[in-house]
Structure 1
Amino acid sequence: MNIAFFLTPKSEIVYETINATMRQALEKMEHHRYTAIPLIDKKGKYVGVITEGDLLWKIKNTDDLTVDGTSKIPIKDVQRRTESHTVSISANMEDLILLAKNQNFVPVVDDQGIFIGIIKRSDIINYCADLLLKQKEDNLD
């Protein structure tokens, strides 16, 4: 199975640039009700993921930082505690499944490391569930 089948393209997902502010990331996450979003650089390369926890720890550990003050702090100055590994668009299903065990989504990059989208863990689980059901049905026949 080609993993491109599962790809949610960059144009359909929420992400942020590494030079955006904490406030911009917080607002996107709140609006879309996400707990983590991918980060890219100005050239479109994947650089990591920012989570609610990362942002909350920065607020907690920065004296006198208010929510309004988050508009002055770039995401690149926020310590990220989650490492989210990528897969190449040419990766196989086994590689994808191994990463999805520990990540809610798997960022997908092209051969130059340019971020092209994500594959959601829920889509992989649905695919595997369908395979199991089909196998069960085939065994009943």
Structure 2
Amino acid sequence: MQDDNPLYHAFLILTKVKYSKIPVLDKDRKAVGLLSLAMITDKMLQTDEISTDVLNELKVRDVMQTKFDKINFVQTTLETQLHLLVDNAFLPVVDDKGVFQGLLTRREWIKAFNYVVHTFDNHYDVNEKPDLNEN
């Protein structure tokens, strides 16, 4: 989703996809926000009735969340990624210039961790740690 898209366009896209929140990019492909269907419907419900008229007047940038967690694979440790994924279903991945590279989802992280746990013995020999206090 681009930040200059009409809110009506974003509404149509979010009602068709299975995601509850999506990243928003600017014209330079930098991650500048997040947008959810709830953010859009909140604008539709500001009067005594539901109206889509406001969706043609506003742009995505007018309602998007601008404070959000994002990561850079080079700079962000695995521990930080895990910490952030506790509260976020996904994290936008950006390069050093803030350009969007993709998404790291909680689901994919858990799947990767599950694979490591279940194949650990195939790749590593684990020996009991010697007791250094024996003497």
Calculate the TM-score normalised by the size of structure 2.
Answer: 0.77
Please, what is the CA RMSD of the aligned residues? 2.4
User: Which of residues 36, 53, 57 is equivalent to 2:38?
Assistant: 53
Partner residue, 2:68: 84
Counterparts of 1:104-123 in structure 2 under 5 Å? 104-123=89-108
Q: Is the 8 A contact 2:21 2:34 kept in 1?
A: yes
Greater relative contact order (Cα < 8 A, sep 6+): 1
**Could you report, residue by residue, the CA deviation over 1:45-66 in whole angstroms, capped at 9, with x for unpaired residues?**
1111001111111111257662
Partner residue, 2:27: 42
Greater shift in the superposed pair: 127-136 or 117-126: 127-136
Greater shift in the superposed pair: 122-131 or 67-76: 67-76
* CA spacing shift, 1:120–1:29, aligned 2, 3 Å: same
Partner residue, 1:70: 55
**Could you report, residue by residue, the CA deviation over 1:72-108 in whole angstroms, capped at 9, with x for unpaired residues?**
211122153x843110131232221111111111100
The structure that has the greater radius of gyration is 2
- Residues paired across the two proteins, number: 123
State the one-letter code of the partner of 2:71.
V
State the one-letter code of the partner of 1:87.
I
Partner residue, 1:129: 114
Question: For structure 1, which runs of at least 5 residues remain unmatched after alignment?
Answer: 1-15
Question: For structure 2, which runs of at least 5 residues remain unmatched after alignment?
Answer: 127-135
Partner-residue secondary structure (3-state), 1:43: coil
**Greater helix fraction, Structure 1 or Structure 2:** 1
Calculate the TM-score normalised by the size of structure 1.
Answer: 0.74
For residues 102 and 109 of structure 2, the distance between their equivalents in structure 1, rounded to whole angstroms, comes to 15
Q: Is the 8 A contact 1:87 1:96 kept in 2?
A: yes
Identity of aligned residues (%): 24
Q: Find runs of 4+ consecutive structure 1 residues off by over 3 angstroms.
A: 62-65, 134-139
* CA spacing shift, 1:24–1:127, aligned 2, 3 Å: same
CA deviation after TM superposition for structure 1 residue 132, in Å:
2.7
For residues 104 and 48 of structure 2, the distance between their equivalents in structure 1, rounded to whole angstroms, comes to 37
Partner-residue secondary structure (3-state), 1:95: helix
